[in-house]
Amino acid sequence: MTEITDRQRTELVQRALQARERAYAPYSKYRVGAALLTESGEVFEGVNIENAAYPAGICAERSAVFGAVSSGQRTFRALAVATQNGGTPCGSCRQVLAEFGLDTLVLIVDAGGQVVAETTVHDLLPKAFGQDSLGLR
């Protein structure tokens, strides 16, 4: 598991909570914020964005990852995910996170800022489908 400092942990939790306030969730009312720490030390935030055509929306975790990758980042250290009740990333988000590192630390945070779970992408998605599955490594 990737280690991060207490300062980094606090910053990620706070930024995920702040991002959650900007989520666009008029249908489910389930706002999610994410803060992703890259290996270079940059933090990318993401929010869930719903759409009346439900499949057109995006989760906060993937929003953060896609922003980071669009900026040239490919290696992640940690992700904080803030929801009302400490919900975990969905299957699609777990698969996207696995693409960039199974050892990424994942902090699951409730609306009060309490870390309710600390895990890794590997633990969230054991036996992940990846480059090895395609014979690319």
Residue 44 lies in a domain: yes
Grouping H, G, I as helix, E, B as strand and the rest as coil, residue 51 is: coil
How many domains are there within the chain?
1
**What domain range is 116 assigned to?**
6-134
Examine the residue annotation and report whether 118 is marked as an active-site residue of this protein.
no
Q: What tokens appear for 105 in the block?
A: 């630390």
Distance CA 132, CA 34 (A): 28
Query: What is the token pair recorded at 9?
Result: 């942990």
Domain contains 58: yes
CA distance 3 to 9: 10
Q: Active site residue: 42, 61, 99, 118, which one? A: 61
Phi-psi region of 127 (alpha: psi -120 to 50; beta: other; left: phi over 0): left
The CATH number for 103's domain is 3.40.140.10
Q: What is the tens place of the pLDDT at every residue in 4-60?
A: 999 999 999 999 999 999 999 999 999 999 999 999 999 999 999 999 999 999 999
